[in-house]
Amino acid sequence: MTVYLPIAELPIAIFTVFAMGLAVGFISGMFGVGGGFLMTPLLIFTGVPPAVAVASVSPYMAASSFSGALSYWRKGMMDLPLAGVLLTGGLAGTLAGVLLFLWLRMIGQVDLAIRISYTLLLGAIGSLMLVESLKAMARMRQGLPPTVRRPGTRAWFMRLPLKMRFRRSRIYVSALPVIGIGFIIGLLGAVLGVGGGFILVPALIYLLRVPTQTSVGTSLVLTLVTMAAATVLHAEANGTVDAVLAFVLMVGGTMGAQFGARTGQTLKAEHLRFLLGILVLSVAVRVAVDLVSRPADTFAITQEAQP
């Protein structure tokens, strides 16, 4: 059974899209990563234009993140004040990202920019997380105590003004780096169609020293709000949100996120970081291969000489 996507201008198997939404929704709920870093390349691989894939994944991520965030909120595993400060920068970054996306479309480089950015960003983040998690698990197998991350922040954070205390996360830090992190996440979400959780979760854990489970729950709140804003802005400024595609993904993603959130709450922090690192790195490799491989239909674009 196929359905025609009016904005993408192509037919696609509806059950395939639903299964993709269900699987990525499960991953989103488990890791608190929004799932866009995986869903956007999957849609591109199935033939959806990158510009439409980026914009149409935004409402899907908002819906799946809402489902996962609700589960973490019920468990008391999110820091709402911290999420509020992150959103201050996140919404500004989302607006800047939509404007940058519009400029890239105008110069005809949006597809190439998306693919190269995915390869570099996911490759770096996935490698760092994989190495760190392997070291942590090696210590566990040797019977050594895990490295203790004391509540607090690095010394240079402490010298910045506008300090705030976030009691749920047990940190006392300036609001400036928190706003900066939120801005970067919002910018990436609008340009690449990613919720930013695969960057936000490590940033909260390793930079701000927020506990892992709290980081996952808090990242879902930021993903929910920034992706809802990106959906509205993309629809208004770019006209690339395919409502049919987004709806099918949302139905599957919302269902999968509930099961993923319950599974993620039962895993150890080291195992969560290891699995997320493997997943991020795998997507980076797949995008890189697709970027350098020979296309099935080769063609050339030439500019005719003006008389």
Spatial distance between the Cα atoms of 125 and 37, rounded to a whole number of angstroms: 12
pTM listed for this prediction: 0.67
Strand blocks (E) in 1-134: 2-5, 10-13
- Confidence (pLDDT) at 237: 76
2 forms beta bridges with: 13
Q: Which amino acid is at 287?
A: V
- Going by pLDDT thresholds of 50, 70 and 90, the confidence category of residue 295 is low
pLDDT digits (tens, 9 = 90+) for 131-182: 777 777 777 777 766 555 544 445 566 577 778 888 777 778 888 888 888 8
* Contact present, 279 and 27 (Cβ < 8 Å): yes
Residue-wise DSSP of 186-203? HHHHHHH---SHHHHHHI
Q: How many DSSP H helices and E strands does the chain contain?
A: 11, 4
Question: With 0-12 CB in 10 A as exposed, 13-18 as middle and 19+ as buried, what is 182?
Answer: buried
- Confidence (pLDDT) at 151: 45
Spatial distance between the Cα atoms of 177 and 85, rounded to a whole number of angstroms: 10
pLDDT digits (tens, 9 = 90+) for 22-68: 877 777 666 656 567 778 778 877 888 877 888 888 887 777 677 67
Q: What does the angle CA 22 – CA 124 – CA 211 come to, to the nearest 5 degrees?
A: 65
Mean of the per-residue pLDDT values of the chain = 76
Spatial distance between the Cα atoms of 261 and 32, rounded to a whole number of angstroms: 8
pLDDT digits (tens, 9 = 90+) for 219-240: 888 888 888 888 888 888 777 7
**pLDDT of 81 higher than 80:** yes
Nearest Cα residue to 29 out of 74, 94, 88, 92:
74
